[in-house]
Amino acid sequence: MKYLSIFAVSLLILISLSSSTWSEELKKINLDDISSVGLRIETDTKIKTEGTGSLKITTQWPTTVCIAEVTDVEIENAKLVYRARIKSDFEGTGFLEMWVQINGGKYFSRGLNSTITGNVDWKTVETPFFLKKGQKPEKIYLNVVINGIGTVWLDDVVLLKETLK
């Protein structure tokens, strides 16, 4: 009986060791130098459409940048419009994206019919989001999506309310 108990305990230890998680470090990401991140966001005071500067985003790979979170907006039964002026010097496409949180759920709108591609001077782009009666946003996230590499400038960003027709 004593040997059976020792065997049972040994078997349990062996089973627990064999089902434990094993990991291997594949790559260590060095963040001592910020240039290794591949994304730089800064204010550009020379290239702008209004005010004292624009948002300049330079990236080495496709990325999404959240530029604002809007709360405390009293709106329902209306059309939200996220509009901005964009200039680009990059390879790829870019567009605006808006996420709207309603009753804990998150829903999005992408301006795929209002995009920028390649080298473009200042262009107005937008994306709409339609709110039905009773749908009141808790939070609104305004993003710019860059599917490419290079530089994008963003300026004159507005969130508009339009009546439904």
Where residue 11 falls among pLDDT bands split at 50, 70, 90? low
List pLDDT tens digits, range 59-118: 999 999 999 999 989 999 999 999 999 999 999 999 999 999 999 999 999 999 999 999
Q: Bigger pLDDT: 162 or 3?
A: 162
Q: Please report the beta strands in 45-138, taking only residues with DSSP state E, as ranges in sequence order.
A: 54-59, 63-71, 78-102, 105-110, 116-131
What pLDDT is stored for residue 67 in this prediction? Answer: 97
User: Cβ distance 112 to 37 under 8 Å?
Assistant: no
Q: pTM of whole model > 0.75? A: yes
Where residue 38 falls among pLDDT bands split at 50, 70, 90? confident
Q: Taking 70 as the threshold, does the pLDDT of residue 41 lie above it?
A: yes
The structural domains of the chain, with segments of one domain joined by +, span 38-163
Closest by CA position to 7, among listed 146, 15, 76 = 15
E strand or H helix at 14, and its extent?
A: helix 2-18
Q: What is the DSSP letter of 60?
A: S
Q: Bigger pLDDT: 164 or 16?
A: 164
What is the fold, at CATH topology level, of the domain defined by 38-163?
A: Jelly Rolls (2.60.120)
Structure tokens at 50: 């209004």
What pLDDT is stored for residue 3 in this prediction? Answer: 66
